Amino acid sequence: MINAKLVPASIHTTFLTLALFYGGIAQILAGMWEFKKSNTFGATAFTSYGAFWLALASIIVFEELNLINFGPDRNIAIGLFLVAWTVFTFYMWIGSLKINNALVFVLTTLLITYILLDLAEFSQKKLEGGTMSDLKRGLTYFLSVLAYGVILLIGIKVYTFLQITGERTYNIKPAVEFFFFFTIAFGLLLALPELIVNFKKEGIWKIDRVKIISIALPAFVPSLLRYLYFCTNAGFYMPFGFLFVNYALSSGVFFFAGVVSGYFLLSSVHKEET
């Protein structure tokens, strides 16, 4: 709330007491109890985030006591500190996918919070030469990869759930439909940053028809054939049905084909300078 300027910064001492005793000591104690119960994930999570709050509160206390002084580079120091915990939270988020949905929700919101805090810290610092610019660009690349990874893992989890449900109900159509649309949508998402950059340029919009015909459409065909095989009556008349039933091919080649088709379809739209 202080970062969002919803409350005055002068009340930050309230944050310190909560960070030290509840966020810090209480969570570390909870981690020790989880360790005693042989819950490795719970012990790691509680102990680590307890240490995070103790470390963050200690930085504030040491600054107040003039034991450390970051000077004008304080935002960089705090930003790098938060980036390290963003990476850790991402690994914890991956581990939560095998536990339960409540934990996935908690760590997903926590990961988003860390990313927003990272951006907030680095955006407060004015560019100084190329160093800060390179740092922000590197952070942008890292967060982009992180976001794509999160979306991909969520897609895999949803597809796995639909596939298991389909095997139980003898209806794999929802899983196949999700696979078809998700792979193409993921490819479109990969090309989205390039399209956004084009919006900022001056010029005339063009469509690269050669790219669409030679790459996007040929890559789209395998995905479409797999969809037709499982979701329509056309599957009865299609040869080489074993190609669509084979799990390795369906999870590998067809995923790649869908992503490639979506990516090159959107990337074929660009601006040419006049």
- Strand 204-207 to 269-272 pairing: antiparallel
- Determine the structural domain holding residue 255 and report its residue range: 172-274
3-state secondary structure of 11: helix
Chain segment 47-70, per-residue pLDDT in tens: 999 999 999 888 888 888 888 888
Please state the rounded mean pLDDT for residues 154-177.
Answer: 87
DSSP symbol at 129:
T
- Residue 273 above 60 pLDDT? yes
pLDDT at 26: 92
Q: How many distinct structural domains can be found in the chain?
A: 1
pLDDT at 17: 82
Tokens 């109890």, located at residue: 33
pLDDT at 128: 46
Chain segment 107-157, per-residue pLDDT in tens: 877 877 787 777 667 665 544 444 555 556 666 666 777 788 788 888 888
On average, the pLDDT of the chain sits at 79
164 burial level (CB within 10 Å; 0-12, 13-18, 19+): exposed
Whole-angstrom distance, CA of residue 93 vs CA of residue 101: 11
Kindly state the greatest CA–CA separation across the chain: 78
- Residue 29 above 90 pLDDT? yes
Whole-angstrom distance, CA of residue 261 vs CA of residue 50: 45
In a domain, 105, yes or no: no
As a whole-number percent, the residues of the chain with pLDDT over 70 amount to 80
Whole-angstrom distance, CA of residue 131 vs CA of residue 72: 14
Q: Structure tokens of 32?
A: 């020790």
Give all strands (DSSP E) within 151-200, no chain letters: none
DSSP symbol at 170:
T
Tokens 């990272």, located at residue: 118
Q: Structure tokens of 126?
A: 């004015």
In a domain, 131, yes or no: no
Please state the rounded mean pLDDT for residues 170-194.
Answer: 88
Are residues 82 and 117 in contact, defined by beta-carbon separation less than 8 angstroms? Answer: yes
In a domain, 239, yes or no: yes
Please state the rounded mean pLDDT for residues 152-176.
Answer: 86
In a domain, 180, yes or no: yes
What is the distance in angstroms between the CA of the first residue and the CA of the last residue of the chain?
A: 47
Please state the rounded mean pLDDT for residues 97-110.
Answer: 79
pLDDT at 127: 44
Cβ count within 10 A of residue 219: 21
Are residues 227 and 233 in contact, defined by beta-carbon separation less than 8 angstroms? Answer: no
Among residues 137, 175, 131, the alpha carbon closest in space to that of 155 is found at 175
Which amino acid type is present at position 238? M
Q: What band does 160 get if pLDDT is binned at 50, 70 and 90?
A: confident
In a domain, 13, yes or no: no
In a domain, 240, yes or no: yes
Chain segment 208-254, per-residue pLDDT in tens: 888 889 988 998 988 888 778 777 776 656 655 555 555 555 567 78
Whole-angstrom distance, CA of residue 186 vs CA of residue 147: 12
3-state secondary structure of 241: coil
Whole-angstrom distance, CA of residue 265 vs CA of residue 261: 6
3-state secondary structure of 104: helix
In a domain, 245, yes or no: yes
Are residues 253 and 265 in contact, defined by beta-carbon separation less than 8 angstroms? Answer: no
Q: What band does 195 get if pLDDT is binned at 50, 70 and 90?
A: confident
Per DSSP, what are the bridge partners of residue 271? 205
- Whole-model pTM above 0.95? no
Q: What band does 159 get if pLDDT is binned at 50, 70 and 90?
A: confident
Q: Which carries the bigger pLDDT value, residue 72 or residue 242?
A: 72
Please state the rounded mean pLDDT for residues 192-201.
Answer: 80
As a whole-number percent, the residues of the chain with pLDDT over 90 amount to 8
In a domain, 106, yes or no: no
